[in-house]
Amino acid sequence: MEILYNSTRGNDISVRASQAILKGLSEDGGLFVPDHIPALEKTLKELSEMDYRQVAYEVMRLFLTDYTEEELKDCIERAYDVKFDTEEIVPLKKAGEAYYLELFHGPTIAFKDMALSILPHLMITAARKNDVKNEIVILTATSGDTGKAALAGFAGVEGTRIVVFYPKDGVSVIQEKQMVTQKGDNTLVVGIRGNFDDAQSGVKQIFADRELAQEMAEKGFQFSSANSINIGRLVPQICYYVYAYGKLLRDGEIAEGETVNVAVPTGNFGNILAAFYAKNMGLPIGKLICASNENKVLYDFFRTGAYDRNREFRLTTSPSMDILISSNLERLIYRAAGNDADRNRELMAALGGQGRYEVTEEMKEALSDFYGNYATEEETAAEIRRLYEDYGYVIDTHTAVASAVYGKYAQETGDKAKTVIASTASPYKFTRSVMDALDTATGRGDEAKEDFALADELSALSGVKVPRAVEEIRTAAVLHKKVCEAWQMKDAVKEFLGIYTA
Q: Which residues are catalytic?
A: 112
Taking the C-alpha atoms of residue 172 and residue 16, their distance in angstroms, rounded to an integer, is 38
Instruction: State the DSSP string of 51-97.
Output: -HHHHHHHHHHHH-TTS-HHHHHHHHHHHSSTTSSSTTSS-EEEETT
Helix (H, G, I), strand (E, B) or coil at 374: strand
Amino acid sitting at position 355: G
Amino acid sitting at position 227: N
User: In terms of C-beta density within 10 A (0-12 exposed, 13-18 middle, 19 or more buried), how is residue 280 classed?
Assistant: middle
Q: How far is CA 359 from the centre of its chain?
A: 25
What number of other Cβ atoms are within 10 A of residue 335's Cβ?
21
Residue 15 pairs with which residues in a beta bridge? 5
Taking the C-alpha atoms of residue 81 and residue 14, their distance in angstroms, rounded to an integer, is 34
Do 325 and 200 touch, CB atoms closer than 8 A?
Answer: yes
Residues 6+ apart with CB under 8 A from 28: 7, 9, 10, 13
Taking the C-alpha atoms of residue 360 and residue 86, their distance in angstroms, rounded to an integer, is 46
Amino acid sitting at position 336: A
